[in-house]
Structures are given as structure tokens and as C-alpha cells.
Amino acid sequence: MLIYLFHFSNPLFFFKRCPSYIEPQNLTSVSEFFLMGLSDDPELQPLLFGLFLSMYLVTVLGNLLIILAVSSDSHLHIPMYFLLSNLSLADIGFTSTTVPKMIMDIQTQSRVISYVGCLTQMSFFMLFGCLDSLLLAVMAYDRFVAICHPLHYLIIMNPRLCGLLVLASFLISLLVSQMHNSIVLQLTYFKDVEISHFFCDPSQLLNLACSDTFINNIVMYFVGAISGFLPISGIFFSYYKIVSSILRVPSTGGRYKAFSTCGSHLSVVCLFYGTGLGVYLSSAVSLSPRKDAVASVVYTVVTPMLNPFIYSLRNRDIKRAMWRLFSKTI
């Protein structure tokens, strides 16, 4: 979501008027778009198919293992792992929004997506992307309570509050997604039907629009603030308090033990927002939309795939739960 916050912050990005030499296509006559994909080289298609199919399977299986491990082990029925299982579920949804369609397009050699299908894909992409961002902010708050108020942790982060935080994150994400869709549905003209991406990228689709509406711009700034700025601010504030609290611990061992509980979450946050920022910077210096699409693979596919590895490799409780889960199935 961070990359869309950066895109939306550019006042030249929104809804440009079509140049006089382009004949805009009325929305009523546009029934489908064409996804340009990652490459036109026929020899690369089998490689791309195998690569993304394997990455998708690893992502889904890895995140499912996290969910099963947390749900099957009573020792992990605490707020931290409840939020982690919801993050894994959101990661599955985030990846499943784009990758299966791309795999199918490579296999069938068809890059057509209907107008309704494009809006649906974009809606779910925004939903799960925003949900990822908000859940990371909620998890940062969970770590803040655990370190700064350890004696009251289970009282503050009670099951009711955890459920409400997850529900609120979902409802806010749904609101953001529908607000985004309502803006796109108001577009009347497109200057092209070719999307230079492997999915209906919101920034690419809006860049094809030929309208100029001030109110739409304001709404999109609001959407960008909710989905990007507020979660980032919450994460920074939580870690500011965490670091301040850890620095007051007298022993070095105590500081390390306190901060180690945040290691996995901090790694995921850096990966999620770092890749988004990297894609934005690469798109800013690159004039090729195809290269932007290749760069966006990092945060749409690679990041959700790596999250289970980060939590399983850096967390002894998750590793123990997975071993117990495997021993039950064997």
C-alpha cells in the first residue's frame, strides 16, 4: 500500500485530460482490458509459469502452516499469534488476488480481463493490501503493550479487544476498497485499454483515465492517508515507545531479550514497506512500465512468501508448534 500512497501524493498523477491526438474510448464501449504482463518473449513463458506457480504454492502453504500451527497449539492462543494468523490469512488473500490470474494468462496465452473482472481484482487487491498494512500497525501496538506494560498485557490485549481490532481493520480496509472503486466507476473515458502490468494495478488504471475531477483527487488523498499514512504513523509511534522503554532497562541481556520479541515483526514491517518504497523509487527513475511491473513482483509475491519463513525461523514457539503439527500428521 505504501507505493500507492506515494503515487496518490503526486498531484500530476490523477486523472489527466487526454491529449488532443488521442480519441478517448467511452466507458460504455470498454468491456475489457489487456494486461501486458511481465514479458512478451515466448521462450520465457514456461519459466515464468513454473516460477510463479511454485512461489504461489509456497506462499499459500507457508501461511496455512502458520494458521494451523497457531490454531492447533493451545500455547499459542495469545494475542500476538492470533494477530499473526490473521496476517497470514490476509497474505494469502493478497497473493491470491493477482498471481492465479497471471498464471492462468501465461498458460492460456490470453491477457484479456473483463472490465468487471478488473474492478473486482483491483477491489480485492486494495482490500487485502490495506488489511496487511493495518494488521502490521495493530501488531506493533501489541508489541508496545507487551514491552511497555507487561504486567497488564493480557488484561489490555484481551480476546474481545483483539477481535475488535481485527474487525475494525477489515472494515476500514473494506471502506478504502469501496471508496477506491467508487472513484473508478465515475471515470467516463480511457485513453487506452492496455494496462502495463500483470494485474489491474490501481495506479496504472487511474493513469489511463481522461477526467479531471477535484473531488476525486481529495477522496484519493483521503484513501491514501487511511491505507498508508495512519498505519505507518502508528508503527513509528509504537516503536518509539518500545525503544524508549528498552533503553531504560539496566542490563544488556534484558534489553536484548525485550527487543528480540519484536524482531520478527520489525523484519516483516521493513520488508513490507521497504519493498514498496523500493518499487516506488525504481518507478520514479525508470521510464519503462514493464520494468515497474517486474519490480512490483517483490511486494505482491515475494513479501507474502517470505513472511512465514521470517516468523518460523526467528520464533521458537512457532517452530515447536510446527514440529508438533508435523508429528501429529505423520
Domains, the chain, ordered by start: 33-329 (1.20.1070.10)
Tell me how far apart the terminal alpha carbons of the chain are, to the nearest angstrom.
40
Beta strands in 59-175 (DSSP E): 112-114
Select from 101, 115, 140, 141 the least CA-distant residue to 300. 101
Residue 13 has pLDDT above 90, yes or no: no
pLDDT at 7 over 70: no
Which residue, 163, 178, 188, is CA-closest to 124?
Answer: 178
The mean pLDDT value for 110-114 works out to 84
pLDDT given at position 9: 44
More confident residue, 12 or 125: 125
Contact 229, 5 (CB under 8 A): yes
CB 112 within 8 A of CB 32: yes
Q: Residues 289, 204: contact at Cβ < 8 Å? A: yes
62 has a pLDDT exceeding 80: yes
Decide if pLDDT at 14 tops 50. no
* Mean pLDDT on 127-140: 93
How far apart (Å, rounded) are the C-alpha atoms in residues 297 and 32?
Answer: 23
CA distance linking residue 95 with residue 124, whole number of Å: 10
Over residues 157-187, the pLDDT tens digits come to 999 999 999 999 999 999 988 888 887 777 6
- How high is the pLDDT of residue 32? 78
Average pLDDT over residues 252-267: 80
DSSP state of 24: P
Average pLDDT across the chain, whole number: 80
The answer, yes or no, to whether residue 23 has pLDDT greater than 60, is no
